[in-house]
Amino acid sequence: MRLLIIEDEEKLALSLKKALEAERYAVDVSFDGEEGYEKASVESYDLLILDVGLPNMDGFEITAKLRQEKVATPIIFLTARDMPRDKVIGLDTGGDDYLVKPFDFEELVARIRALLRRGTTSAAQPILQLDTLSLNPATQKVTRAGKTISLTPKEYSLVEFFLRHPRQVLSKTQLIEHVWNDQADPFSGVADVYIGYVRAKIDKAFPGQKQLLKTLKGRGYSLSDEEEKR
């Protein structure tokens, strides 16, 4: 899952980025309102974390413009303690949640998880599952047929993205956009390499189980428990 932080306190923004990357999110950062808005409008993020007071365009303006453009990405506001009205305005302009600074990092992570669950098939069910493959976003534990699978952070993000879009065809571009940050080169073949690693760990290591991760020639990949269509 890929997040964008728009926050002009650079120290806070960078420490958040680092902490969220440790939670296995791909994270981009912008210190400027207008630049952040452009990124959010052009790139495909799964969630935005917005400061309110920002240079060139404030968090509310960014939200209002994005919602006008039908960008429905969930938004969490970081609001200042002395501005209680900000919460109301933030939610009214189309934000989904807010945290008052200084906030508890664990709480931010829990709210990110809750917002990412919303609007997906997994809304009612925090554990993501397909066939005998399951992933618990809270503990980051992945199992197949009850056996724990050890994954690197990138492999984990890839499995999580597939499990949030079960049986859908995902193009290589979509995978790069949601699993890697803006430093990734979409033409580097990095997605294919990681698909290979993930397939070895979730499918090939379990020869008695259904092979879930499918390559659809010329279209992309799909994590599916259905028989391949001919």
List contacts with Ca ion (CB under 5 A).
8, 51, 53
Return the structure tokens found at 17.
Answer: 């980025």
Q: Give the residue with the Cβ less far from Ca ion, 11 or 70.
A: 11
Q: Compute CA 184 distance to the chain's CA centroid, rounded to the nearest angstrom.
A: 15
Residue closest to Ca ion, measured at CB: 53
Q: Give the residue with the Cβ less far from Ca ion, 5 or 159.
A: 5
Cis peptide before 102 (omega within 30 of 0): yes
Taking the complex as a whole, the smallest distance from the CB of residue 49 to Ca ion amounts, in Å, to: 12
Taking the complex as a whole, the smallest distance from the CB of residue 184 to Ca ion amounts, in Å, to: 28
Burial call 141-158: b when 16+ CB within 10 Å, e when fewer = ebbbeeeebebeebbbbb
- How many Å apart are CA 108 and CA 20, to the nearest integer? 10
- How many Å apart are CA 141 and CA 38, to the nearest integer? 35
Taking the complex as a whole, the smallest distance from the CB of residue 45 to Ca ion amounts, in Å, to: 20
Taking the complex as a whole, the smallest distance from the CB of residue 107 to Ca ion amounts, in Å, to: 19
- How many Å apart are CA 17 and CA 19, to the nearest integer? 6
CB count, 10 Å around CB of 178?
A: 21
Q: Give the residue with the Cβ less far from Ca ion, 51 or 96.
A: 51
Burial call 194-209: b when 16+ CB within 10 Å, e when fewer = bbeebbebbbeebeee
Q: Give the residue with the Cβ less far from Ca ion, 5 or 195.
A: 5
Q: Give the residue with the Cβ less far from Ca ion, 8 or 21.
A: 8
Q: Compute CA 138 distance to the chain's CA centroid, rounded to the nearest angstrom.
A: 14
Taking the complex as a whole, the smallest distance from the CB of residue 9 to Ca ion amounts, in Å, to: 6
Q: Give the residue with the Cβ less far from Ca ion, 53 or 153.
A: 53
Taking the complex as a whole, the smallest distance from the CB of residue 51 to Ca ion amounts, in Å, to: 4
Smallest CA-to-CA distance from 51 within 95, 107, 110 is with 95
